[in-house]
Chains A and B, each alone.
Chain A
C-alpha cells in the first residue's frame, strides 16, 4: 500500500458504533416500539398464479384486539422505483406464491396472526409461467396484461406491452458479423444462475404512523431513507415535507433493502387503524418468499477469437427471470448488459438483455447487481475458449483485458485513471502460484484445482445521482457529520469520520458521524447502493469540511487581526501561517469569536458539501452507446479448491482477491468487505439457490432448507490484495469496492473445478449433488 502522508486516511480505524453493537445497546427497527403501537401480520398467496374470486374478512374483523384488516381491493396505488408495477397487496390476481394478499393490524402479534388465519380467500388458479425463456414466447400467459399502463423511467427503460418483457437492453458495438468472419474460432455456450436470497440477519421491518393532518412518520430498516420518502410521496400523492423517514441501525441489506418494501403497507394499516403506529416485521419465511430476491439468469454466449487469442466478437443473450415484478429488476438487466462482456477490449459486440416476468417471487438489487450472474457466463466461457485455443487462461485474459486507450462496449475510452485490471489479475494469480499444479491431496479421493476469474463493475445509478453532507462544529471544537447514506455494516461511516478528521485537522475521537438517518435533519442522499457511498459521500464530506474551514478562516482572521489568507489550520487550531504561536482553538471559533471586551464576530460554523454524478448519459435505447459509469472498479480472483470425488463436496483452500481500490481508505474495513464478500460469493457458487415445485411454490424458503455459509464453510485462507491506481475524481483517489469481492467468485470456483475434474459446470449453485452427477456422467462417457 502507498506511503501515507495522511494522519487518518488509509489507517485501520475501528468502527465508531462498535461499543453499541457489542453490548446490545444498538437499536434496530426490530427493537423499537412506541406507546399504542399495533402489530401486523400478512396473508400470503398459496398459488403462483390465480384470480382472487372472493375474500371474506368477517371472521378476522371479529377477533378481539384487531384494529384494521386490509385487502388489495381497497388499495389502488401503483408503486416501484424504475417501473411502477407493484401494488401494496394483490388486487384481483396473485402473481406469485408468497405474494401479500391481505394484512391485519392488531394489539398483539398473536391476535394479528389469528385474524389472518381466519381470512377466507377463494382463488381460481390461472396458468402460470415459471421459466423466463418460456415467458418470452408469443403464446405465454401474461403476468402483467396491463403493462402498457404502468409509469416508468422514460428514455432509460423499454417495457414491451403485450409481452412479459419488462425491459430489453441492447448493446451494439462494431459489426458483429465482421467480427465473427474475422475469427478463427467461434465458441458457444449456455449458463444458468439460480435466484438467491440476500439473507440479512435483520429481516425487513418498519413502523409507520399516519398522523392527523396528513403527515406520516416512518421508521424503517432500509438502505434508502430519501428514496423511501420520495417513493412514498409519489405513491400516496403527498408532498415530501409531509413524510419523515427515520433509519436506525440496519441489520444487513446487501441490496435487498434498497427501494420501497413494507413501508406502504405499514402506512395504509396505520391509516386504517385511526393513526395508531403499526409495526410490520417480516418473518424469515416472508423474507425468503414474500420480499424480493436476486433474479435468476439464463445466458447464451458466443465468442469469436483469432488463433493468437485476440477476441474479435462477443454476442450474448441474457434472459433474466424477474419474477412477478420488475420495478428494480429492469435496472439490473440494464446495468449487467453494459458490463456484460467482462473487462475486455472487444471490437464487435452485441448484447441483448431481457428482463422477463414469471410467476415467481420477484427479484431486486443484490450485491453485485447482475454482475455475478453475467460474469458467471463470461468468465466461464473465457476459460473454455482458452482451453480450445490451447492457451493458458491467464495469458488469454491478459491479452484481452481493457487498457488505457481501449474502448468499452458502450463507447467509453479507457484512461489511466480507470484503474488496472491487468495488475489485479497478475497479483491474484501470483498469490496462488498460478502456473504450477496444485500439490496433490494425501487423500486419493480428493483432487485439487486452481481457477482464475476477472471482474469489473461501476455503480448502476441514474445519471443525476447526488448526495450531500453537513458538518456542524460543536462548542468544544469537535464535529458532527450528517449524511443520509446508511452504514448497514459496510463501514462507510468510519471512512467518512476519517475523512472529516483529516480535512478538518482535528482528532478523530472528536468527530461523530450521526448513525441514525432522519430525512427531517440529515441531508439528501439518493440511496446507499452500488458501492458509491464512500466515493460520493466522501467527496461531499471533503467539500463540507472545506466549507467549515472557510468559515473558520474568516472568523479567525478577525480574532487574530490578520487577512483570511494568512490563516492556516493545525490540530484543532487556526493560526497565523507565518507565526504559528499566534493561534486560536476551534472551540473559541465554532460558535463565533468573543473578544475580551465581550464583543463578538462570526457565528456557528456549519459546513455544507455536495456531490453529483458528472458526465453520465443515458444509454441509447437502440445501441446502448453512452457513458453509464462514474467510475469502474476492476478486480480478479484466484482460487484453489479441493473436491471430494465421492461426496462431491468442495473445500476452498485459498482465495486471493485483488481489487484496484484506487486508494485504500481503511484497510481493516476494506479487508472486511473482501472476506465477507468472498464468502457470500461462495454461497452463490456452491450452495444457495431457490428450488421451485412444478406449480411454482418455493421449496426451500427457510434456514432448514436454504443454507448460507457458516463458520465451517469458509476458505482456509483469504488473501485480499489492493492495487492503488488513483481515481482522479475519487476522495483521495478511492473507488468503491463493497460489492466487487462477491462478483466472479462462482466463475473462479467453476474454472477451478474444471481444472480439477475436467468437467464443465454451467449452472450455479454447483452443489455436491451436481458435482457427483457430473463425475458419474464423465465415468459413463
Chain B
C-alpha cells in the first residue's frame, strides 16, 4: 500500500506522519498517537463511538482516512479538558450519571461539543438530534441529554 506524508493539527498540536493510504483516522489516532479515547464500536460508521471533530464537525473517524485529515484540525476527547481541568460538559456527564460503562462517552462528548459550539442554547430536541448517531446501550440517554443541557447552561452563564 502506498505511503503518504501528512501534516495535521491534533488537539492544538502539530503532528507529522507517514501513513498508508488505507489507514483510517481512527487507526491513526489510536495506533500512532495513542489517543485511545476514540473507540471502535462497529467499524462501519453506525455506532458513533469513534466520533471526533474534524475542523469542528463531528465525523465517524472509522470512515475517514488519515490522509483526508491532512492540513486539517482534529479534536479528540483528550483535547476536551483544558490544562487538566474537566470541561463543563465532562463534569455534567459525571454528575448527572450520564456515564455507565463509558465506552460511548468520548464520542457522545464530542457530538455534544460540536452542538454547543454551533448552538450554545440548544433545545432538548436539538440535543436528541445531535447525539442520535451515538449509540449508548447503558443509560437510556436521559441523563446524557440532561448533562448536555446543564453544560450548555453553565457555559452560557460564564460568557
In chain A, what residue has the closest Cβ to B131?
Answer: A711
Residues in A neighbouring B43, C-beta threshold 8 A: 283-284
Task: State whether A19 and B90 are in contact (beta carbons under 8 Å apart), knowing that A254-B137, A676-B139 are contacts in the complex.
Answer: yes
Is residue A200 contacting chain B, with contact meaning CB distance below 8 A?
yes
CB-CB contacts below 8 Å: A704-751 with B = 704, 708-712, 714, 718
In chain B, what residue has the closest Cβ to A287?
Answer: B42
Is residue B55 contacting chain A, with contact meaning CB distance below 8 A?
no
**How far is it, in angstroms, between the C-alpha of A20 and the C-alpha of B94 when the chains are bound?**
10
In chain A, what residue has the closest Cβ to B76?
Answer: A24
**How far is it, in angstroms, between the C-alpha of A18 and the C-alpha of B106 when the chains are bound?**
12
Of A17, A18, A704, A712, which contacts B44 at CB under 8 A?
A704
Pair B101/A678 contact, Cβ less than 8 Å: no
Task: State whether A252 and B138 are in contact (beta carbons under 8 Å apart), knowing that A15-B99, A202-B101 are contacts in the complex.
Answer: yes
Pair B140/A676 contact, Cβ less than 8 Å: yes
Task: State whether A22 and B93 are in contact (beta carbons under 8 Å apart), knowing that A676-B100, A712-B128 are contacts in the complex.
Answer: yes
Pair A703/B81 contact, Cβ less than 8 Å: no
Residues in B neighbouring A669, C-beta threshold 8 A: 97
Pair A27/B102 contact, Cβ less than 8 Å: no
Is residue A583 contacting chain B, with contact meaning CB distance below 8 A?
no
Pair A489/B40 contact, Cβ less than 8 Å: no
In chain A, what residue has the closest Cβ to B41?
Answer: A201
- The segment from B2-10, B31-39, B64-72 found at the interface with A is B31-39
**How far is it, in angstroms, between the C-alpha of A703 and the C-alpha of B86 when the chains are bound?**
32
Counting chain B CB atoms within 10 Å of each CB, the highest count among A18, A21, A671, A718 belongs to A21
Residues in B neighbouring A252, C-beta threshold 8 A: 100-101, 103, 137-138
Task: State whether A24 and B144 are in contact (beta carbons under 8 Å apart), knowing that A200-B137, A201-B101 are contacts in the complex.
Answer: no
Grouping DSSP codes into helix (H, G, I), strand (E, B) and loop, the A interface class, with mixed when no group exceeds half, is: loop
Pair B47/A703 contact, Cβ less than 8 Å: yes
**How far is it, in angstroms, between the C-alpha of A198 and the C-alpha of B103 when the chains are bound?**
15
In chain A, what residue has the closest Cβ to B129?
Answer: A712
Is residue B63 contacting chain A, with contact meaning CB distance below 8 A?
no
Is residue A680 contacting chain B, with contact meaning CB distance below 8 A?
yes
Residues in B neighbouring A253, C-beta threshold 8 A: 101
CB-CB contacts below 8 Å: A356-385 with B = none
Residues in A neighbouring B104, C-beta threshold 8 A: 201
- Closest-CB distance, A288 to chain B (whole angstroms): 10
Of B78, B100, B141, which contacts A24 at CB under 8 A?
B78
CB-CB contacts below 8 Å: B83-127 with A = 86, 90-91, 93-95, 97, 99-106, 109, 127
In chain A, what residue has the closest Cβ to B36?
Answer: A31
Pair A489/B101 contact, Cβ less than 8 Å: yes
**How far is it, in angstroms, between the C-alpha of A200 and the C-alpha of B80 when the chains are bound?**
25
Is residue B19 contacting chain A, with contact meaning CB distance below 8 A?
no
Residues in A neighbouring B36, C-beta threshold 8 A: 24, 27, 30-31
Pair A703/B40 contact, Cβ less than 8 Å: no
Interface residues on A, range: 35 or more
Task: State whether A201 and B135 are in contact (beta carbons under 8 Å apart), knowing that A18-B99, A283-B43, A678-B140 are contacts in the complex.
Answer: yes
Counting chain B CB atoms within 10 Å of each CB, the highest count among A28, A201, A710, A712 belongs to A201
Pair A249/B102 contact, Cβ less than 8 Å: yes
Interface size on B, residues (CB 8 A): 53
- Closest-CB distance, B39 to chain A (whole angstroms): 7
Of B30, B40, B132, B139, which contacts A672 at CB under 8 A?
B139
Is residue B49 contacting chain A, with contact meaning CB distance below 8 A?
yes
- Closest-CB distance, A332 to chain B (whole angstroms): 20
In chain B, what residue has the closest Cβ to A284?
Answer: B42
Is residue B17 contacting chain A, with contact meaning CB distance below 8 A?
no
Residues in A neighbouring B137, C-beta threshold 8 A: 198-201, 252, 254, 676, 680, 708
Is residue A528 contacting chain B, with contact meaning CB distance below 8 A?
no
Task: State whether A489 and B140 are in contact (beta carbons under 8 Å apart), knowing that A22-B93, A708-B135 are contacts in the complex.
Answer: no
- Closest-CB distance, B79 to chain A (whole angstroms): 9
- Closest-CB distance, B12 to chain A (whole angstroms): 15
**How far is it, in angstroms, between the C-alpha of A680 and the C-alpha of B101 when the chains are bound?**
15
Pair B101/A200 contact, Cβ less than 8 Å: yes
Residues in B neighbouring A709, C-beta threshold 8 A: 140-141
Pair A23/B140 contact, Cβ less than 8 Å: no
Residues in A neighbouring B86, C-beta threshold 8 A: 19, 22-23
Is residue A577 contacting chain B, with contact meaning CB distance below 8 A?
no
Is residue B59 contacting chain A, with contact meaning CB distance below 8 A?
no
In chain B, what residue has the closest Cβ to A668?
Answer: B97
Pair A711/B97 contact, Cβ less than 8 Å: no
Is residue A40 contacting chain B, with contact meaning CB distance below 8 A?
no
CB-CB contacts below 8 Å: A156-204 with B = 198-203
Residues in B neighbouring A718, C-beta threshold 8 A: 140, 142
- Closest-CB distance, A116 to chain B (whole angstroms): 16
**How far is it, in angstroms, between the C-alpha of A677 and the C-alpha of B41 when the chains are bound?**
20
- Closest-CB distance, B8 to chain A (whole angstroms): 18
- Closest-CB distance, A26 to chain B (whole angstroms): 6
Residues in A neighbouring B145, C-beta threshold 8 A: 711
CB-CB contacts below 8 Å: A284-302 with B = 284
**How far is it, in angstroms, between the C-alpha of A24 and the C-alpha of B10 when the chains are bound?**
15
Question: 24 A-B residue contacts at CB 8 Å?
Answer: A14-B94, A18-B95, A22-B94, A24-B37, A24-B78, A31-B39, A200-B103, A201-B135, A202-B101, A251-B39, A252-B103, A489-B100, A489-B138, A491-B100, A676-B100, A676-B139, A676-B140, A678-B140, A703-B44, A703-B47, A704-B46, A712-B128, A712-B132, A718-B142
Known: A22-B91, A712-B129, A714-B142. 4 other contacts (CB 8 A): A22-B86, A201-B47, A203-B41, A675-B139
A contact residues vs B (CB 8 Å cutoff): 12, 14-15, 17-28, 30-31, 198-203, 249-254, 283-284, 488-491, 668-669, 671-672, 675-680, 702-704, 708-712, 714, 718
